Amino acid sequence: MSQPVDSAVSAVRTYIENHRAAFLDDLVEWLRIPSVSAQPEHAADVRSSADWLAAKLKETGFPTAEVWETPGAPAVFADWPSDDPEAPTVLVYGHHDVQPAARTDGWDTEPFEPVIRGNRLHARGAADDKGQVFFHTLGVRAHLAATGRTTPAVHLKILVEGEEESGSPHFRDLVEEHADRLAADAVIVSDTGMWDEDTPTVCTGMRGLAECEIELHGPDQDIHSGAFGGAVPNPATAAARLIAALHDEHARVAIPGFYEGVVELTDRERELFAELPFEEERWLRTARSTATHGEAGYTTLERLWSRPTAEVNGMGSGYQGSGSKTIIPSSALVKLSFRLVAGQDPDRIEKAVRAWAADQVPAGIRCEITFGPATRPCLTPLDHPALQSVVRAMGRAFEQPVLFTRVGGSGPAADLQDVLGAPVLFLGISVPSDGWHAPNEKVELDLLVKGVETSAHLWGELAGSGQETP
Amino acid sequence: MSQPVDSAVSAVRTYIENHRAAFLDDLVEWLRIPSVSAQPEHAADVRSSADWLAAKLKETGFPTAEVWETPGAPAVFADWPSDDPEAPTVLVYGHHDVQPAARTDGWDTEPFEPVIRGNRLHARGAADDKGQVFFHTLGVRAHLAATGRTTPAVHLKILVEGEEESGSPHFRDLVEEHADRLAADAVIVSDTGMWDEDTPTVCTGMRGLAECEIELHGPDQDIHSGAFGGAVPNPATAAARLIAALHDEHARVAIPGFYEGVVELTDRERELFAELPFEEERWLRTARSTATHGEAGYTTLERLWSRPTAEVNGMGSGYQGSGSKTIIPSSALVKLSFRLVAGQDPDRIEKAVRAWAADQVPAGIRCEITFGPATRPCLTPLDHPALQSVVRAMGRAFEQPVLFTRVGGSGPAADLQDVLGAPVLFLGISVPSDGWHAPNEKVELDLLVKGVETSAHLWGELAGSGQETP
């Protein structure tokens, strides 16, 4: 690492510099499409986003670029074979749908009117995930320009789904349906991030996700809290007691069986995590929080990357307007999500949650639980050769040592691993301050360009032809 | 009781029968005014309601009928002196404001378009409290017609406030400001109910009410539950744990000091409560609930009438829309109300709640508590002569024995008792199925007429001239 800039690196940089402005114009155009998969009123926008991307991939040079239908939102698939028939096949994964966003959520500007301020591009999807999908388009062009090739050094495929922010309900079916065309020797998941602006890292695992909505029903309409208060069960209280029972006094999830099968950290993994320049005060600023809180016996990074969680994403009951309304509410709603780690199975978690909730809810309260589609956790071995290729490509772009992380978020990477039988690697240049799912989401433009450079180097590295010559 | 119908009773009935249709037309007109005091957009309606009532009381014969301003919604005062200077002075209390209501809350018809179906008049305010204020207008006319008087047998005053459903924030000031004009020997609170359609009862006490809104602040914006989940405190979880800590395993309120000073039931009071024809299954239907739940060691009636409570009226945090949003919410809101009983002081309760909440909230969560105006509890001695007058008037109207209850709801009766130094009596004909504060609120028309009759008899009873002659 820290080698002098070689000629390939410099050729890649020159090409990127010359095409950066057009690349950003294109990305801004894509970000203007509010492809919110969770909101039915944006279904047409999600489709426009897919059409836009397919056309752009064709323009980039992919001989094949198609919109793939699902029972929900469409995905995009593109394929660019190498002229070397012996080249390995690599599948890039990303998503073109985004989280809901509204100016009134606390955005300084309209979330779907991208704004560049200094080194930052602000828009919903700038980092999660359009920016990180899109850097591969300029990356592959720079790869060809710098190497003089007319096709990539690997058989390059890309699959960009449209329902990741809704839990990828049809993704596994899609992958199974098209397993032949998606077949690959390695999968590059381009939907994660790195440690921070100054510390390039490669991610080795993602947590999984199980989500549910719990409705608690009490009186069959709102009733007067004076006339009836103190003598019938209140579903808001029952909901609160259920949430309170999620964790024990050590902030461990108290659902019986929840930790069954969890792969514990090894001492070596704990040492590697501890090598990262973690500063709690700085991290808390990124988390917009004033104190850490979590499972006893684990550091903050260990809690985030290697431990499963139970979090309340939303709850509601009764009167939430101005003033007061002296009622016992008829019902209460709780939205929970569980981050899962290697060794946990979403089906087993669902069973455990249902059994636990049934035990907690008092007489007179009826409980309905609906689980959404789940995402499985995954982990990549640290010594995998393809993982080492990603580390080298990133090292050439950043000219710095590359460390290892995991990510607390979730993606359908495990489905790709399961169905395609290929190792899953993670490449991302987003940083924690980018504000995924939050108001004022952004991407750092310098890092976006490093992502382009990493992509440009990666295909040669994965083909075994990317070793720099000093 | 159960005497043959005397001539006074029959004269009252004849008069009422002849004027019932016009009386109902007037009440329906009043109910059309959506006088919701909790919603600022209805301020003009609350004022129209006051103007309407003042005009109607003048039309009824009150020589004086005025709209009294407050810093909030206006009240109505009317005064009809007796021609007997020695007559006692009686002040009737009620309110002309109503709870919020919208068709979408579950109403079968528009809440402010009154509908008569069979023996029931459905509208917001039909029972709470416009119907029960309004029966006195026909009641006093029937009293005059049946007795041949030109003025009531008592100096009759009526005060109808406009902020009862908002906790009567300016009521005590209003009563203090006008204490001279409100001076009375007894106060008749016309804002309660009776046991059921078949069991006339007189109420002897009301619970008080303290209300607060608790805001819990965590991250200063919503953050990604994957990126940060499990490592920072979640304000929705903190809110739930706070609510869960409100009650111990015996459903007793667990706030230290909450029960300090509470006047416990005597054995005689418990016996009297037990004489009422309470059927749990029937009561549960009225409560729209499937199970009772409350403080260990007390019957349902004792819980409702003599025990203080802590109830959640509303709560909200994070994403409550369709689909899912994997966030840790930035904040959570909890609306709590506490019903208070004799011996509890709202100021002491507020201090106790604040100290308790400060103890419960974890590091990293900021807690803000706002208390609204409180209502004090009150109790009338069973052997008070004016209470016995109410029992006799009701007995003549219903021709049945009159039993005793209390009411779980709250009203500003205690302020009248404190400021005016007069005993407070309760007269109401509403029944539990009337659905106060709920969709499809109604009043039973037969009972409304019994209220008119009771009012017609009451003024003579209170003046000591109402004993029937066989």
pLDDT mean by block of 10 residues, chain B; 470 residues: 66 96 98 97 98 98 98 98 96 97 95 97 98 98 97 98 92 96 96 91 92 97 92 97 97 98 89 90 92 97 96 97 92 97 94 97 96 87 87 94 88 85 92 91 98 97 64
DSSP string, B167-192: T-TTHHHHHHHTHHHH--SEEEE---
CB atoms < 10 A from the CB of A144, how many? Answer: 19
d(CA A246, CA A239): 11
Nearest CA among A383, A197, A325 for reference residue B438 = A325
- Asked if B226's CB is within 8 angstroms of A410's CB, the reply is yes
- Asked if B324's CB is within 8 angstroms of A320's CB, the reply is no
Average the pLDDT over A383-388 and give the result: 88
Query: What's the pLDDT score for residue B469?
Result: 35
- Asked if A317's CB is within 8 angstroms of B315's CB, the reply is yes
Q: Which of B220, B228, B288, B344 to mutate to probe the A interface, most A CBs <10 Å?
A: B228
**pLDDT digit string (tens) for A69-121?**
999 999 999 999 999 999 999 999 999 999 999 999 999 999 999 999 999 99
Fold of A208-262+308-371: Alpha-Beta Plaits (3.30.70)
Beta bridge partners of B315: A317, B334
Greatest Cα-to-Cα distance within chain A, rounded to the nearest angstrom: 84
Beta strands in B320-431 (DSSP E): 327-328, 331-340, 366-371, 378-379, 403-407, 424-426
- Asked if A300's CB is within 8 angstroms of B320's CB, the reply is no
If you measure CA to CA, which chain A residue comes closest to B294? A231
Residue A94 CB burial class (10 angstroms; 0-12, 13-18, ≥19): buried
Q: How far is B312 from chain A (nearest CA, A)?
A: 6
**pLDDT digit string (tens) for A159-196?**
999 999 998 889 999 999 999 999 999 999 999 899 88
d(CA A175, CA B142): 82
Q: How far is A222 from chain B (nearest CA, A)?
A: 6
Neighbouring C-alpha atoms within 13 Å toward the C-beta of B404? 19
d(CA B86, CA A152): 109
Query: What's the pLDDT score for residue B167?
Result: 81
Tokens 């700085």 sit on residue: A282
Give chain B positions within 8 Å (CB) of A278. Answer: none
Give chain A positions within 8 Å (CB) of B209. Answer: 226, 326
All residues at 6 or more sequence positions from B266 whose CB lies less than 8 Å from its CB, including other chains: none
H or E segment to which residue A187 belongs? strand A186-189
Q: What is the DSSP letter of A432?
A: G
Query: H helices of B38-186, where?
Result: 43-60, 130-147, 171-177, 179-182
d(CA A402, CA A395): 6
Nearest CA among B432, B416, B452, B418 for reference residue B203 = B432
- Asked if A337's CB is within 8 angstroms of B225's CB, the reply is yes
- Asked if B300's CB is within 8 angstroms of A227's CB, the reply is no
Six token digits for residue B172: 């005590």
- Asked if A233's CB is within 8 angstroms of B289's CB, the reply is yes
Q: Where in chain B is the domain with CATH 3.30.70.360?
A: 208-262+308-371
Decide: B164 and A324 in contact? Cβ < 8 Å: no
Q: How far is B43 from chain A (nearest CA, A)?
A: 13
Number of H helices, E strands in chain B: 14, 18
Tokens 């009301």 sit on residue: B206
Of A287, A308, A317, the CB nearest to B223: A287
Q: Where in chain A is the domain with CATH 3.40.630.10?
A: 7-206+378-463
Nearest CA among A388, A463, A387, A375 for reference residue A424 = A387
Fold of B7-206+378-463: Aminopeptidase (3.40.630)
